[in-house]
Each structure stands twice: as structure tokens, then as C-alpha cells.
Structure 1
Amino acid sequence: MIEIATSAATTTLVIAGDLDLAERDQFPEIAARVVGLRRQLLVIDMCGVTFMDSTGAAFLISLADASRKRGGATVLRGADPRDLFVLEICGALELFRIDADHRCAGDEAQAEPVDQDASSPA
């Protein structure tokens, strides 16, 4: 599932599930909608992506390339290292800015430190 949200300067794609060959039929319509919005910044939220193959990577690359040609930028947030690896193998990682500070909703519980000695005197 891919949802599109917009603000004055940003288009955000929120992707959930697989981004692969089985989903390719929806890619042209989504790409046309995103390009038609003509925002300077495209943010692709990949927190919900469970799998991405080269077809999904080609879709993201086409979006980033279209944005770059309009003078815009594309940011990936919540991308898994394996997804970044696929983009790197495709030779396209430099088309994207990587939001390394973003934490996906499920990552917050893992990021908080556990205080095992809370009842011990200091």
C-alpha cells in the first residue's frame, strides 16, 4: 500500500508492505500523481516496507530522478540497510538523501535504554 500526502513544499509517500514485482501495476499511476504535484521535496517513508526487489528499487529511482530533473530532492526515511543495499547495487544511492535521524514507530521501544538498577541506591 502506498499513501500520498502533501504540504506546501513536500510530497510524502508512505509505503507499507512489499515494494516488488507483484506491486508494479500501481507504480505508473503513483509516479504520475507524484510528478504532477511538482513539490520540491519528495520524502519516501519506508518504515513499513517488508521487502523490496529491483522492481521496487527502479520505481524509487524513477521518482528520485524525476524530482532531480525538476531541481528537487528525494529523502528516504526509515529505509532498512537491505533496501539501501539494493539501491546501492543499482548504482542509484546517490540520488537520495538518507534521513539517518528518523526513527520508525517500532524502533522507539528498542531505542530507549532499560534501567535495570532503578531500585538500587546510587
Structure 2
Amino acid sequence: MIEISTSPATTTLVIAGDLDLAERDQFPEIAARVVGLRRQLLVIDMCRVTFMDSTGAAFLISLADSGRKRGGATVLRGCDDRDLFVLEVCGALDLFRIDVDHRCDPPAGAGAS
């Protein structure tokens, strides 16, 4: 699931679940919506991503590349090391700013006894 929210200068994508080949059918519509919003900053929240393959990485890369061509920036937050590795292997890590200060909220029910 991918949710889109906006502020005057920022578009935020919150991604939950798998970001992979099985989800690719929704990528073109989401990309078109994000590009159409024409915000300078795209924040991609990956706190709830459970798996990302090269198809998901290509989707993120296309979003970052579109923003960069318009003079914008793309920030990844909540990315785990595995996801960063996939982007690095694709040679695209430099397209993104990595939010190293962001801390994801614990999953619902975590820590409850």
C-alpha cells in the first residue's frame, strides 16, 4: 500500500508491505500523481516496507530521477540496510538523501504485555 500526502513544498509517500514485482501495476499511476504535484521535495517513508526487490528500487529511482530533473530532491526515511544495499547495487544511492535521524514508530502492539 502506498499513501500520498502533500504540504505546500513536500510530497510524502508512505509505503507499507512489499515494494516488488507483484506491486508494479500501481507504480505508473503513483509516479504520474507524484510528478503532477510538482513539489520540490519528495519524502519516501519506508518504515513499514517489508521487502523491496529491483522492481521496487527502479520505481524509487524513477521518482528520484524525475524530481532531480526538475531541481527537486528525494529523501528516504526509515530505510533499512537491506533496502539501501539494493539501491547501492543499482548504482542509484546518490540520487537520494538519507534521513539518518528519523526513527520509525514501533509496530502497533509492540511492547504491550
By the TM > 0.5 criterion, same fold? yes
Match of 1:62 in 2: 62
CA distances 1:3-48 after superposition (whole Å, capped 9, x unpaired):
0000000000000000000000000000000000000000000000
Which aligned pairs between 1:4-83 and structure 2 lie closer than 5 A?
A: 4-83=4-83
Question: Counterpart of 1:106?
Answer: 106
- Identify unmatched segments of 5+ residues in structure 1: 108-122
Query: Structure 2: which amino acid aligns with 1:8?
Result: P
Task: Please say if 1:89 is aligned against 2:89.
Answer: yes
Tell me the matched-pair count.
108
Q: What SS does the aligned partner of 1:36 have?
A: helix
Normalising by structure 1, report the TM-score.
0.87
Partner deviation per Cα, 1:86-105 (whole Å, 9 max, x = no partner): 00000000000000000000
- Scaled by the length of structure 2, the TM-score of the pair is 0.94
Cα root mean square deviation, aligned = 1.2
Distance 1:18 1:85 in 2: 16
How far apart are the structure 1 equivalents of 2:51 and 2:44? 15
Which protein has the larger Cα radius of gyration, Structure 1 or Structure 2?
1
Structure 1 residue 106, shift from structure 2 partner: 1.4
Q: What amino acid maps onto 1:85 in structure 2?
A: F
Secondary structure of the residue aligned to 1:23 is helix
